Amino acid sequence: MNLNKILNSSLKLKIMKFFNENRSSVDTPRGISTWIDADMSKVAAALNQLADDGVVIYHGHGSTKAYSYIHDVKKVKKMAEYLESKCGLD
Amino acid sequence: MRFIKEDYRTQFFNKFISNEQLKGLVSGFSAILGDPTWWALKKPTVPKDGRPVKQGKKCSSPSSKPLIENTKCLKCILLAVKRARAKRDTVMYKCGYGHDGVVMPLIQGDKILGYISLCNIQNKALSTLMPPLKSSIGAVMDDVKKELELSKLYDTIRPRAIALSTIHTVHRVLSSTLNLDELLPKVARLCLQVLRAKRCHIMLFDDTKKYLASKAFIDIDDDKAGLKAKVKIGRGVEGRAAEKGEASLKPSYICVPLIDEDVMGVISASQKINKEPFSAFDLEILTTLAEQTVTAIKNAQLYEEQERIIIGSVKSLSMMLDAKIPNTYVHCPAFPNITIALGKEMGMARKALNSLYCAALLHDAGKLGMPEEVLRKKTRLSDKEYTLIRKHPIETAKILKPMDALTPAIPIILHHHERYDGKGYPSGLKGDEIPIGARIMAVVTAFDAMVCKRPYRHCATVSEATSEIKMNSGAQFDPNVVKAFLRIEERGEIKKLLKEGERR
């Protein structure tokens, strides 16, 4: 999991920071764009790529698109460390 | 997150000394008061790392050092601070170097949250300047108080709003899933996500109502985990939860009954990823999820029942037509199943396959309005008769139009005699203009016409009919549909379906 390559934009960093802080969240691109205060269409595209890269899970059905954080403990730990090094603690 | 754990006094004090409005105030009053040194103290005790908020240039004390090392200043300031605390008001003092100073307690309600001290005030009209200074400091305190209240509100509301949004999203995902086979594994996955648990198990009553049958089991550590064994009602945590209709909350296990009018099953989760015990909040979340699951199961069951009713009605109608003149209004018994097999091979979704199935059963119903002697005729049709026969797709569409449930099947029926090269009827559509269902039916209709027994003509073998279809690929038929047909034929599915049809 090459996080430098996967999290190649500030938007993707913001999205993953959101999921890292809210690990139980399952939300739509619209919901996530509200929480991180970003453009919905850009968030939707970024989420799609993050799901392809295996760092978020896609739960959609039909027109409902929903995403959540991954479960893998090792990946979550690696992501948390990466985000802390990039974004720092709140 | 560390910030939230600190007490209010610390939060207030830290926000206060870093407040931009305070910085402006210090700068403005410094000019009027002759550049004093400003100190901020949280408590009337020796601060560990006290440094001035603003160092006055004229101050003779070594105030660039931490306050703790400025013993001369410290002694005077602390004495004044203690007086200010006792008086709960501003006090003036003379510092160790003989300069005027003032200590102002930061009072909020009945609490003193810190102290502001000004050393080495040069302006003699200090008493006149005190009211505006106090009022300005008060305004900064109000500002910080509001900021902290907002921050507290944000920290309280945001996680709840996110949780609420999660529940809403889960509800949307579940209510848009009308296929029971897909629904329950999806519920289990979402449950694991929302509870951050390792395993989720959904069990529903079996037909005997004496056992709980495993319907979905997801284990994040084992992708291949299959369904579990049946559980007798009253046995084990799940069995007892189902029997009593009561939830069970254990440190590493949580189980909630799925209740509609009666208990219909249970949903359980075990072992949190972070190894923490399940909480009452988790129970609340799982109970909400269980309620949503019940609604989604009922919706899916109703949808499946509705589908069964529609398909059943269509089958009855098709049997009635076949009873009138066999092999005229409907094709051989295998025809609908070969159409569906080809639809599946083409990757059609379940809903589209249902429409294709209905179209396959009723596509020639329009012949009902045609004269029987034309339909039964064993010799070549006249031009007039042929023109009449060519109208049957339009007639079928007219007959089926009032049935809303069959609306998606109508374009398939209407265009199943179109040709890929545009030479078909009734609209002369070409290539992808022809609905995919109609392109599929065109192949199967032709195959059926060649291989199924008719009293008046020679019956081709499957291999002869397949070669004929292959030969017409790109002209009469969509080449992709023909390729798919050849694939299922090579797998032996066509022959198998024909044999099954003969047995009926």
- Write out pLDDT tens, residues B207-247: 898 999 999 999 988 777 777 788 899 888 889 999 999 99
Place of tokens 């009666």: B262
| Mean per-residue pLDDT, B290-314 | 90
Residue B165, pLDDT > 80, answer: yes
Q: Which residues of chain B make contact with A73, given a CB cutoff of 8 A?
A: 273
Q: How confident is the model at residue B64 (pLDDT cuts 50, 70, 90)?
A: low
Residue B269 has pLDDT above 90, yes or no: yes
Q: What is the Cα Rg of chain A in Å?
A: 12
Looking at the predicted structure, is the pLDDT value of residue B49 above 70?
A: no
CATH top-level class for B8-151?
Answer: alpha beta
Pick from B341, B356, B318, B351: nearest CA to B435: B356
All residues of chain A having their beta carbon less than 8 Å from the beta carbon of residue B292 are none
| Domain coordinates in residue numbering, chain B | 8-151, 177-301, 325-502
Assess whether pLDDT exceeds 50 at residue A90.
Answer: no
The pLDDT of residue B175 is above 60 = yes
Q: Give me the pLDDT at residue B343, please.
A: 95
ipTM of this complex prediction, to 2 decimal places: 0.89
pLDDT at residue B110, as a whole number:
84
Most confident of B58-72, B125-139, B162-176, B464-478: B464-478
pLDDT bucket at B1, cuts 50 / 70 / 90: very low
Chain B residues within an 8 Å CB radius of A27: 162, 165-166, 169
B8-151 against B177-301: fold identical: yes
Least confident of B192-201, B409-418, B448-457: B448-457
Q: Which two tokens stand for residue B16?
A: 């206060």
Nearest CA in chain B to A28: B169
Chain B residues in contact with A62 by the CB 8 A cut-off are: 176
Confidence tier at B54 by pLDDT (50, 70, 90)? confident
Contact B304, B182 (CB under 8 A): no
Q: Which two tokens stand for residue A14?
A: 């913001």
Which 8-state DSSP code applies to residue B103?
E
Distance in angstroms (rounded) separating the CA atoms of residues B451 and B295: 47
Q: How far apart are CA B1 and CA A20, in angstroms?
A: 13
Within 8 A by CB and 6+ apart from B446, the residues are B465, B468, B469, B472, B476, B477
Q: How far is CA B91 from the centre of its chain?
A: 61
> Which residue is closest to B185 within chain A, CA to CA?
A59
Can you name the residues that pair with B454 across neighbouring β-strands?
A: B457
**B238-B240-B242 Cα angle (round to 5):** 70
Q: What is the pTM of this model?
A: 0.66
In this prediction, residue A89 carries a pLDDT of 45
- Rounded to 5 degrees, what angle do the CA atoms B433, B434, B436 make? 115
User: In this structure, how many other beta carbons lie within 10 angstroms of the beta carbon of residue B351?
Assistant: 12
Residues 42-71 on A with a CB inside 8 Å of B are: 57, 59-64, 66, 68-69, 71
Site from B1, B151, B165, B271 to mutate, A interface, most A CB atoms within 10 angstroms: B165
CA of residue B310 relative to chain centroid, distance = 30
Residue B60's pLDDT band (cuts 50, 70, 90)? low
Q: Which residue of A has its CA nearest to B178?
A: A61
Tell me which residue in A22, A59, A90 faces B173 most closely, judged by beta carbons: A59
Distance of CA B484 to the CA centre of its chain: 35
- Return mean pLDDT, chain B: 85
Yes or no: is domain B325-502 CATH 1.10.1060.10?
no
User: pLDDT by residue (tens digit) across A67-87?
Assistant: 999 988 889 899 999 998 887
The CATH class for the domain spanning B177-301 reads alpha beta
Instruction: Count CB-CB contacts under 10 A for residue B423.
Output: 11
